[in-house]
Amino acid sequence: MASLVWLITGCSSGFGEQFVLQTLARGDKVIATGRNASTKLAHLQGTGATILDLDVTMPEAEIAAKIKEAHQVFGRIDMLVNNAGYLESGAVEELSLDRVQRSFETNYFGPLKVTRGVLPFMREQKFGTVAFVGSVGGWGAVPNSSAYAACKYALEGLTEALQSEFAALFSRDIQFIVFEPGYFRTEIFSSTNVVHLPSNIPEYQAFNNATVQRQKGIYHNEKGDPAKGVARMIDTLTGSGMAEGKKLPPRLPLGSDSLQVVRAKCQATLKLCDEWEDLIVSTDIPAEADRQAEAHL
């Protein structure tokens, strides 16, 4: 099987770093990207990966130029992994709009711009797969996670839109998936990746302090093994290993905690639909009224 060319964002640590190392181990070609790549990706020098400085918050035209530069390295991009992200923490009432916007710039608009930069090349080569590293936060928000969860919910919608558009226009030779990891032992909860600011509303002080302590308790006590998580994502994207013989799913939870949240949300939603069905469908215009209206046309 011919080697694949991977473009991966956010490679300084965690999932991104693992993607680089594991895809190289497969014999594939890798373009590893990140902010301040000369320093933050220095540990990947000598691995065989091509290192490219790419800040996903740059203007779209600059990102497109970077993607063109990446494409010129091997003449193709087969796999795009949108992994770059960080956690902006704060209660809805306290989060300033600029902090919410900053979260969206990295966690939503960044992947959107990178994907838009890659798609013309995938359309030209008539093949490719785009993966978004979403989150269980795209299924349910916990306290102080509104900015992050909103971005991950948005990635769910973006993925579904791309799936439907490309299925209609270009068959399924270009595919999309959003992964929904639970808590993995990455650096997402480290002091460099999660942003806390002092409370500006006194009533939230104790609440925010509790959130900080909860997140500190999670850090490096997560259930998920990032090496295993990435291995399963690679299996899924390449149809190998544990995913051999299976079609690429539209989304995929990762980790027992994510599975629990997704199942509970689905069950609760189905229960709601059953309990409120009469009210829900009562808003439809009766079919008989439609027929009568058509008869008078």
Residue 194's pLDDT is 75
pLDDT at 1 over 60: no
Q: Looking at residue 190, what is its pLDDT? A: 81
- Residues with a catalytic annotation lie at 148
The predicted model gives 135-155 an average pLDDT of 95
d(Cα 185, Cα 162) in Å, to the nearest integer?
Answer: 30
Domains and CATH numbers, the chain: 5-254 (3.40.50.720)
Backbone angles phi, psi at 96, to 5 degrees: -75, 155
Residue 255 pLDDT exceeds 70: yes
Sign of CA dihedral 163, 86, 150, 102: negative
* Cα end-to-end span (Å), the chain: 62
d(CA 109, CA 104): 6
Q: What is the pTM of this model?
A: 0.93
Mean of pLDDT over the chain: 94
The tokens describing 205, both together, are 């002080």
pLDDT tens column, 11-62: 999 999 999 999 999 999 999 999 999 999 999 999 999 999 999 999 999 9
Whole-number Cα distances in Å, 100 to 106, 182, 216: 10, 22, 22
Looking at residue 282, what is its pLDDT?
A: 96
Distance CA 248, CA 235 (A): 10
- Residue 294 — very low, low, confident or very high, per pLDDT cuts 50/70/90? low
Beta 251-254 vs 174-181: how paired, if at all?
Answer: parallel
CA distance 246 to 255: 19
In degrees, to the nearest 5, what angle opens at C-alpha 130 toward C-alphas 127 and 133?
165
Q: Give pairs for 216-220: CB < 8 Å, separation 24+.
A: 216/189, 218/183, 218/189, 219/189, 219/190, 220/185
CA distance 287 to 94: 48
The pLDDT of residue 171 is 63
Q: Cα separations (Å) of 295 from 232, 288, 290, 292?
A: 57, 11, 9, 5
What value does the mean pLDDT take over residues 53-75?
98
pLDDT of residue 176: 98
Note whether 176 and 164 are within 8 A (CB): no
Q: Is the pLDDT of residue 295 over 80?
A: no
SS (H, E, C) 208-271: HHHHHHHHHHHCCCCCECHHHHHHHHHHHHHCCHHHCCCCCCCEEEECHHHHHHHHHHHHHHHH
pLDDT for 87-114, tens place per residue? Answer: 888 999 999 999 999 999 999 999 999 9
pLDDT over 80 at 200, yes or no: yes
Contact 194, 87 (CB under 8 A): yes
- 10 Å Cβ neighbour count for 3? 14
- Name residue, tokens 């006590």: 221
Residue 76: closest CA among 37, 31, 33? 31
Report residue 293's pLDDT band, with 50, 70 and 90 as the boundaries: low
pLDDT band at 138 (very low <50, low <70, confident <90, very high): very high
Instruction: Supply the pLDDT for residue 297.
Output: 65
Query: Is residue 148 classed as helix, strand or coil in its secondary structure?
Result: helix
Asked if pLDDT for residue 199 goes beyond 90, the answer is no
